[in-house]
Structure 1
Amino acid sequence: MNNQVPYQFDTEFLSEAIFHQLNQGDLFFSKLMQSLLKSVREQLHMEVAFVSEFTEGRRVFKFIDSAQKDAIISVGNSDPLDESYCQRIVDGSLPELIPDACQNQEACKLDVTQVLPVGAHVSVPLKFSDGEVYGTFCAFSRLPSFTLNARDLALMRVFASIAAAALEENRGEQAVFNRRKNYYESLMVNNHFVYYMQPIVNINNESVVGHELLLRIKGDDSQSPQFFLTEIDMLGLSTALNISLFSQVLYILKAVPSNQFLTWNLAPSVILDHEFFQCFYGQDLSQLVIEITEHAVIENYVSLNDRLNILRQSGAKVAIDDAGAGYASLRHILQLKPDFIKLDHSLIHNIHREPELQALAESLVSFAEKSNAKLIAEGVEVEEEHQALQLLSFELGQGFYFARPAPDFMEMTA
């Protein structure tokens, strides 16, 4: 290689990696590893660069960058560790920098040297802060490269140190991920998720017309529902959780008085899941209202509407929850044509003092009437808000003013 050409790599990306402490999730981590491998492969003029992991006596290729479209090796492939260059680099029987493998006696003992073949080879152990050897950071070509020198090896070590730090950080994150996932799975298995109910009332006479299901962790009030539900979703457990809760929801639904309804928050992704959706088959859903939050991302309204229409045929109704909390609610309302529109508490708080909120509420009451939907005012907390909603012709309300969420459904409906 021409040593007069300065080493180049994606400094902006690398700076971002350092700034974020190599801790921004799998996508960022993968981009970082690929950037490191591509940079070192191009600077050393090699055909292939890769990161390997040593596990159970094998060398597993975790990340690969290749000059050719069809790489010589593939991510996920593995081979016996004791037949590899990598093991010999780590134990010191092969040097980290080999300009021509055919001129190295130890390298010539390995079949891969002739079969692949291996020409130039540069490899550095990937070590964690506790001394553990994760694997190796390597680059090789099938032809020799007699211009490789100590400067190239120094560069390789710098990139390897960055890769090792990222790998160690990622392993720590994965350990936390697994611990949290195991924690929530244990709660599911041991039935520690329970539903509280909060009444939905007639604004005028305060009679109970329905109830919202609110998920809680039995015996643990330290975690807010918003936190653990977000975490469960990030862990990919939302569908499994709702499947595990389905029988509990049916039990509660059957206990609901015939003149009342029950609302259940479900993410669009859960509704679209085939295994979960099968749970609805053959069920009487005439008192069930499916709540879809304003915050939910809906990628395909057609598919979601198809599922909701099937549920509607079994008697279910649809509500848009937290309407007004963000930009998506109007589109959800227009696309899904809900039976109920639940106004976010931010539009109800201090409505008796804010003429702008009152004007908005009046327009929403008119819209709901013309679209055959019922408005539910969420977060009603004081008498003045209650009175203002009455004057604005709201029909339904929910909030601490009427009742707090409670675990004893039979007590609430007595």
Structure 2
Amino acid sequence: MHVNFSENLLLDIEAETDLNTRLTRLLALIRKHLDMDVAFISEFKDSKRIFKLVDTKRPNEIVKVGNFDPINETYCNKLANNELDNIIPDISKNSITRDMPVTKKLNIGAYIGVPITLSNGDIYGTFCCYNEQKDDTLNKRDLAFLNLISDLASQLIDTQIQDNEAKQLIKSNVLNIINTNNIEIYYQPIYSLNTNKVSGYESLSRFFVEPYRTPNIWFDEAAQFGLGEALEMLAINNVLGNMSHFNKEVYVSINTSPEHILSGAVANALAAISDCSNIVLEVTEHSPIANYNEMLTALAPLRKKGIRLAIDDVGAGYSSFQHILELQADIIKLDISLTRNINSDRRKYLLAKALCGFAKDIGCNIIAEGIETLEEINTLRKLSVDKVQGYYLGRPQALCDALVHQKSVLS
């Protein structure tokens, strides 16, 4: 007797975002609809038939995810090779299956199954159900329904395989960057509005590989595979290796993640440098910090060596204000969303004015980012902003170009 099902179940399954959850629900749907004891999705791999997903009416110690049999001893293999019918109501009456050792091992009485074929034509495995007793009610309509569900499963598995391949390619590309040190460091000048000269540079990672992707994507992808620290430390070490080329009066800022400060990775990278007074660590307002006390403890030995701390992207969100208060920042960097057109937007002007007043009262320097016009600079001068950076003043440059312009004057 077959169990009725609602078409809404299929819609619910389609709404699931996790592929394994969708496949598992499809498996449960077909088993319950056909009123079978066991349903499974198998994969053919390394001459084995492996149970990838399983749904059973009762606990089954043999048919469990990860268990396998030699592929040439299974119904699945014979089904894929067209040596076995899709429906066998009574295993004991089938000349092929009745004498197969797997029949007794799995206690199969009735069977229905179809191959899972991928979009490239390869056989992935099978979508199968069986009862421990014979089942004369199995019919072509059941097979049509199983084929429908199997087609849906095939599409999901195909998507999963393609996603896994894409992820492996991403991981391989990140590892290749790390293993070959294929990061170039560019430097964007930061001008002092008091001296009108270059007072520092923000170091920025660049990845000139095909297909081109922005640095934030590279670092995000590295983090997904547990390679975030390795990639970031590689970039930091490249910056530190160039420090001797800059004049002593010029500082270099380094973008870093709070988690790598907390782990001690940043301290290890700076271990050989006793005087870090010309180094600024930039922490973005977007970086979450769960425990500020732990962060302050991790920063303490770095501050003793002269390192200053900057909070980046201030004005882009609310987290920056807590960062400033809790971390006792030395520098506040106003985000481009606040500084762009500040000369003509009174609301931005008033917010920047309040931030600048707050910064001065707590002893912080102010750097305005994203400057693109002279009018913005003149407005920022009125607000007593200390330093400015942006495309109007200079784009990120390779080391050799940055060194040529480190004595340039703001016109």
Name whichever of 337-346 and 275-284 sits farther off. Answer: 275-284
Alignment partner of 1:129 is 2:119 = yes
Given the alignment, which residue of 62, 67, 77 partners 2:52?
62
Partner SS, residue 148 of structure 2 = helix
Q: How does 1:244-393 map to 2 (within 5 A)?
A: 244-272=234-262, 278-284=268-274, 285-298=276-289, 301=292, 303-393=294-384
Contact 1:89 1:124 in 2 (8 A): yes
Distance 1:107 1:316, change over 3 A: farther
Distance change (3 Å), C-alpha of 1:361 and 1:154: same
**CA distance in structure 1 between the aligned counterparts of 2:204 and 2:194, rounded to whole angstroms:** 24
Identity of aligned residues (%): 32
Task: State the one-letter code of the partner of 2:10.
Answer: T
Given that residues 64 and 75 in structure 1 are in contact (C-alpha distance below 8 angstroms), is that contact kept between their aligned partners in structure 2? yes
Does the C-alpha gap of structure 1 residues 163 and 389 become closer, same or farther in structure 2, counting only changes over 3 Å?
same
- The 3 A distance-change label for structure 1 pair 250 and 152 is same
Show the counterpart of 1:22.
Answer: none
The residue number in structure 2 matching 1:44 is 34
Distance 2:52 2:294 in 1: 36
More off after superposition, 300-309 vs 369-378: 300-309
Match of 1:410 in 2: 403
Given that 1:376 and 1:396 are in contact with CA atoms closer than 8 Å, whether structure 2 keeps it comes out as: yes
- C-alpha change, 1:54 and 1:278, in structure 2 (3 Å) is farther
RMSD: 3.1
Q: Residues 53-202 of structure 1: matches in 2 within 5 Å?
A: 53-67=43-57, 72-202=62-192
Structure 1 pair 65/223, CA: closer, same or farther in 2 (3 Å)? Answer: same
Report how many aligned residue pairs link the two structures.
Answer: 404
In structure 2, give the amino acid aligned to 1:394.
V
Range with bigger deviation, 52-61 or 305-314: 305-314
Of residues 25, 36, 46, the one that matches 1:35 is 25
Relative to structure 1, is the Cα distance of residues 119 and 302 closer, same or farther in structure 2, using a 3 angstrom cutoff?
A: farther
Runs of 4+ in 1 over 6 A off after TM superposition: 274-277
Post-superposition Cα deviations, 1:246-295, rounded to whole Å, max 9, x if no partner, equal 43122123444333332222234444556676444454444332222223
Matched residues in 1 for 2:186 and 2:95: separation? 73
Deviation at 1:60, TM superposition (A): 2.5
Structure 1 portions without partners, runs of 5+: 18-26
Between the aligned partners of 1:339 and 1:251, the Cα distance in structure 2 is 24
User: Aligned equivalents of 1:330 and 1:29: distance in 2?
Assistant: 40
1:314-353 deviation per Cα after TM superposition (whole angstroms, max 9, x unaligned): 4433322212223433343344443222111010011111
Q: Which amino acid aligns with 1:43?
A: H
Label 1:189 to 1:35 Cα distance change in 2 as closer, same or farther (>3 A): same
Is contact 1:44–1:152 with CA below 8 Å preserved after alignment?
yes
Give the letter aligned to residue 413 of structure 1.
Q
Q: For the residues of structure 2 that align with 1:221 and 1:58, how far apart are their CA atoms? A: 37
Residues 375/241 of structure 1: CA separation in 2 closer, same or farther (3 Å cut): same
* Cα displacement (A) at 1:391: 0.7
Q: Distance in 2 between matches of 1:219 and 1:113?
A: 54
Q: Which amino acid aligns with 1:361?
A: A
Report the TM-score, using the length of structure 1 for normalisation: 0.85
SS at match of 1:350: coil
Does the CA-based 8 Å contact 1:242-1:276 persist in structure 2? no
Q: Say if 1:293 and 1:275 are closer, same or farther in 2 by CA, change over 3 A.
A: closer
* 1:221-251 CA distance string (max 9 Å, x none): 9544445445555565432322333431221
Residues 94-151 of structure 1: CA deviation (Å, up to 9, x unaligned): 3223344344342233323223323343321001233211111123344444433322
d(CA) in 2 for partners of 1:225 and 1:193?
10
Q: How many angstroms does 1:306 deviate by? A: 4.5
Matches within 5 A, 1:202-213: 202-213=192-203
Q: Is the partner of 2:18 in helix, strand or coil?
A: helix
Deviations 1:68-105 (A, max 9, x none): 57764443443321122211221233322334434434
Residue 194 of structure 1: how far off its partner (Å): 0.6
SS in 2 for 1:10: helix
Go from structure 1 to structure 2 and tell me whether the alpha carbon gap of 1:48 and 1:324 turns closer, same or farther (over 3 Å shift): farther
The amino acid across from 1:378 in the alignment is E
In structure 2, relative to structure 1, the CA distance for the partners of 1:219 and 1:180 (3 Å cut) is closer
Deviations 1:38-86 (A, max 9, x none): 2222222334433222122112333333445776444344332112221
Distance 1:299-1:87 versus aligned 2 partners, 3 A rule: farther
Give distance in 1, aligned partners of 2:112 and 2:46: 24
| Aligned equivalents of 2:57, 2:298: Cα separation in 1 | 47
Q: What is the Cα deviation at residue 368 of structure 1?
A: 1.9
Gaps of 5+ in 2: none
Aligned equivalent of 2:386 = 395
Aligned to 1:10: 9
Q: Secondary structure at the match of 1:177?
A: helix
